[in-house]
Amino acid sequence: DAKTTQPTSMDCAEGRAANLPCNHSTISGNEYVYWYRQIHSQGPQYIIHGLKNNETNEMASLIITEDRKSSTLILPHATLRDTAVYYCIVRVKVQAAGNKLTFGGGTRVLVKP
């Protein structure tokens, strides 16, 4: 699986959009970009995933650049409950050998009032 690079931490204001960048310059054509988050001491939670088109769900939007070498997770109206560590993971979507995830350090996001 391709390696990802994320900022170690970032702050954002409550009610504003939070834009979380991720670099994955070695991504392969069949690899998807997945985002998970981990709220303090809880198990990671799936947020969204995409291949090359922009994706949106009830939690967030995912913007992938045309060359697919980077992406941005957007939390449209950050709340205090969005304070968490956010992980960007690149992976082949479904694998017969198991949909294993490789977690890096992630971005520690602090939403401030």
Partner 1 sequence: NAGVTQTPKFRILKIGQSMTLQCTQDMNHNYMYWYRQDPGMGLKLIYYSVGAGITDKGEVPNGYNVSRSTTEDFPLRLELAAPSQTSVYFCASSYPAGAGELFFGEGSRLTVL
Residue 5: DSSP 8-state: B
* Strand 9-13 with 107-112, pairing: parallel
Chain residues in the site for partner 1 (CB under 8 A):
34, 36, 41-46, 49, 87, 91, 93-106
Q: Residue 36 CB, nearest distance to partner 1 (Å)?
A: 8
Instruction: Please state the closest distance from residue 34 (CB atom) to partner 1, in A.
Output: 7
Shortest Cβ distance from residue 81 to partner 1 (Å)?
17
Q: Which residue has the tokens 């992980």?
A: 87
98/113 with CB nearer partner 1: 98
- CA 46 – CA 34 distance, rounded (Å): 8
**Closest CB to partner 1 among residues 79, 102:** 102
CA distance 60 to 35: 10
